Structure formats: C-alpha cells, structure tokens
Structure 1
Amino acid sequence: MSVAEWVALNQISQAAASTPAGLADAMDMTRGAISKVLDKLQSKGLISRATSKEDSRVQLLALTQQGKRALPELTTVADGNDEHFFGALGANERATLRKLLKKLADTHQMHNIPVD
C-alpha cells in the first residue's frame, strides 16, 4: 500500500473526507490523482463509492467491511514504520523536527497535508 493510499484510507475512516473532491482538498492532490488512489483502494476492496441521493454528480466514499478490518493492522504497520525511521531521535529531537517541518510547511503554504 502506498503512503497516499494509507492517508486516503485513514481520512475516509475518520470522515474527514467523504467525497473525492473533499479528499483531494484534504490531501492537497489533484482530483485526477485522487481518482487513481481511490481506484486502487476500490480494486483492493477497501472502499466503496456510492452516488449521493441529493446530487447524482457526487460520489460518497466509505470503508468496506474489509477496509474497516484492515485499518488497525495498517495503522500498526504505519506506526512501526514511523518508529523504525524516527526511533533514532529522542522525544526532544522529534519535537524539534516536527517544529522545523511545520515552519517549512507554513513558509511554503503547505496547509492541507495530513501529517498524523
């Protein structure tokens, strides 16, 4: 699973983004790029798309049962990857790194990138 797929799955699970357009905005990606990510997640059976009853042009995103079952395991893998990569840093160093990265993101107006 790619990082983009993981972030999209996580965003959908938290109802942070329930439409492809909302997810594209939340992840600061183009709608075309998000469409490819969603196609991959759907082909893996992790998400479903349904047409909105209020507006037939709108697709609503949801985790499938398989997606809901996979999410805790994927979260554990992601947390393990973070620990493997950042484990060499102490708590103060991690806080400093996060502060510096936030400063760079703010300077370059990168506000819609999910980091947690």
Structure 2
Amino acid sequence: MSDPSQISPLTAHLGYWLRFVSNHVSQGFAQKVEAMDVTVAEWVVLRELLENGPMSPSALADHLGLTRGAVTKLADRLIAKGMIGRAFRIDDRRRQTLEIHQKGRDLVPGLAALADLNEIEFFGHMRAEDRDILGRLMRDLVRHHHLKTIPTE
C-alpha cells in the first residue's frame, strides 16, 4: 500500500494550476458570450471567418485543429442563426465555402469586447511585465509541444 505522505499533492503540479485558472477564465468567457446567444466555439469560427475571409469547411477545420464534423455542426448552428452562409460551387456542389454574413460581422466587435473584459477581469490585477512573461511562457509551451488545436471550449 502506498504511503500518502510520499505522493505529491495535486497543487505541486503546474498542470493543476494551469487547468484551475484555465477553467475559470474559460467559464467566465463562456457565460459572457452565451448571453449574446453564441458559444465560445461559434465565436472562434466567426472570428476566423472575419479575419481570413471565406473558406472551405475543411480549410477551417484544419486551421482550427477541429474535425470536419465539428466544423459542420458549428457551421449549421451559425447558418441557422443567420450569422454565416454556405455557398456551393456551380461546377461541383460537393465543394462549398463558408462566409460570414453581416449579422455575424456586426456581432464580432461586441464579442471581442467581452473577450477583452474577461481578460481584464482575470489578469488585470497583474503588472504588465508579469502578463507579458506569462504570455511568453504560454506561447513557448505551445511552440515547444507543437500544439495546434485552437481552444474552443
């Protein structure tokens, strides 16, 4: 039988603290955007389409590190809300493009303001230098581990 005093506590692990903070940051943001009838994943899709322009579902999936099925479900929800549209090529109806509609364009600045507010609520108490260090360390971990999947939940 293991001696509990020889087992490291949860709080001894950086992963514990990363997850602890991440969960609270993510949940706070999710609550804010849900008040605008959008999920975090839908916000990510809207933001990507606004920034990168029309793209195929497969290109969007690759860019976000999501499955094509997940992108299709997100696109279907956003289409039903009138925020994006799906256009088919005339010569090949299997090929399609997703593009943001005006309703989605109009919503993105408000959602971005909520992301900024969430950032301030969780990290605003920190000195600018410490926020910069934390950001640099997180980006270093992403690069070192070749992380590609964009967080959507």
Fold agreement, TM-score > 0.5: yes
Between 1:22-31 and 1:76-85, the stretch displaced more is 76-85
**Is the contact made by 2:54 and 2:99 (CA closer than 8 Å) also made in structure 1?**
no
The aligned length equals: 114
TM-score (normalised: structure 2): 0.66
> Paired residue for 1:36?
73
- Residues in 1 aligned to 2:135 and 2:53: alpha-carbon distance in whole angstroms: 22
> Paired residue for 1:99?
136
Structure 2: segments with no counterpart, 5+ residues: 1-37
The alignment yields a C-alpha RMSD, in angstroms, of 1.9
**Is the contact made by 1:46 and 1:66 (CA closer than 8 Å) also made in structure 2?**
yes
* Structure number having the greater helix percentage: 2
**Is the contact made by 1:46 and 1:65 (CA closer than 8 Å) also made in structure 2?**
yes
Partner secondary structure for residue 29 of structure 1: coil
Spell out structure 1 runs of 4+ moving beyond 2 A: 52-56, 111-114
User: Which residue identity does 1:35 align to in structure 2?
Assistant: T
**Is the contact made by 1:17 and 1:23 (CA closer than 8 Å) also made in structure 2?**
no
TM-score (normalised: structure 1): 0.85
Structure 1: segments with no counterpart, 5+ residues: none
User: Which residue identity does 2:60 align to in structure 1?
Assistant: L
- Residues in 2 aligned to 1:89 and 1:50: alpha-carbon distance in whole angstroms: 45
Alpha-carbon distance, 1:16 to partner = 5.4
Alpha-carbon distance, 1:55 to partner = 3.7
Q: Identical aligned pairs, as a percentage?
A: 39
> CA offsets per residue over residues 11-35 of structure 1, 9 Å max, x none?
0011256111111111111111111
> Paired residue for 2:150?
113
Greater Cα radius of gyration, structure 1 or 2: 2
- Residues in 2 aligned to 1:90 and 1:55: alpha-carbon distance in whole angstroms: 54
- Residues in 1 aligned to 2:54 and 2:128: alpha-carbon distance in whole angstroms: 31
Alpha-carbon distance, 1:54 to partner = 5.1
> CA offsets per residue over residues 34-54 of structure 1, 9 Å max, x none?
112212211221101110235
Q: Go from structure 1 to structure 2 and tell me whether the alpha carbon gap of 1:17 and 1:98 turns closer, same or farther (over 3 Å shift).
A: farther
**Is the contact made by 1:20 and 1:31 (CA closer than 8 Å) also made in structure 2?**
yes
Partner secondary structure for residue 90 of structure 2: coil
